[in-house]
Amino acid sequence: MSRAIITNDIDKFLEKIKAYEVIRRDELKVDDIAFIKQKAYIADKNKRLIVIAAEKFNIYAQNALLKLIEEPPKNIEFLIVTNSKYSLLDTILSRVFIEKVIYQKEHNEKLKILTNEYILEILDSKKEKEEIKEFLYDIVKQKELNEEQMEIIVKSIKMLELNLDKESILALVMLSLKVKK
């Protein structure tokens, strides 16, 4: 059975895996699926793993991928790696075994000297609600906060629980940390 890995660091995960073929894209497209099919149908008596990793999966590519994982070639296993289960169609998710692999990120140095570039990096990371909460807890552990900043983080966690806009909440927190004490 094929598997899907949901991870907060695709590249770090790929460093640790051994596979026959690794296809790494920002966005997986139909042309990529054609290439994957070509690789998958090369006859071999040994079992082979093909890793498909992307942040985004084009809907047409996913439909083509669905056909491939429903009826995989002999001795081929597919591993889909992405940073959000919401980037995959429910039809794909229902046909794969899903695992989460979360890495602890080293925020220490970057949190000490909070640059605009780091704030943009965090805002562009498309974190899920639970990842944002973990990040906020890391901030509390690693950074000296004043009372106002602490209150903003507590309220931000409550807002996340209410499913308010994640990016706006994260922007509020990061900008409050940027302000001098």
Q: What is the pLDDT of residues 126-173, one digit of tens each?
A: 777 887 887 788 788 777 788 888 898 889 888 888 888 888 888 888
| pLDDT for the residue 150 | 87
CA distance 32 to 35: 5
Q: Please write the tens of the pLDDT for every residue from 90-105.
A: 999 999 999 999 876 6
The whole-model pTM stands at 0.62
CATH 1.10.620.20 for domain 3-101? no
Q: Which long-range contacts (CB under 8 A, 24 or more apart) does 29-36 make?
A: 29/58, 29/60, 29/61, 30/58, 30/60, 30/61, 30/64, 32/61, 33/61, 33/64, 33/65, 33/68, 34/64, 36/65, 36/68
| pLDDT for the residue 160 | 86
CATH 3.40.50.300 in the chain, residue ranges: 3-101
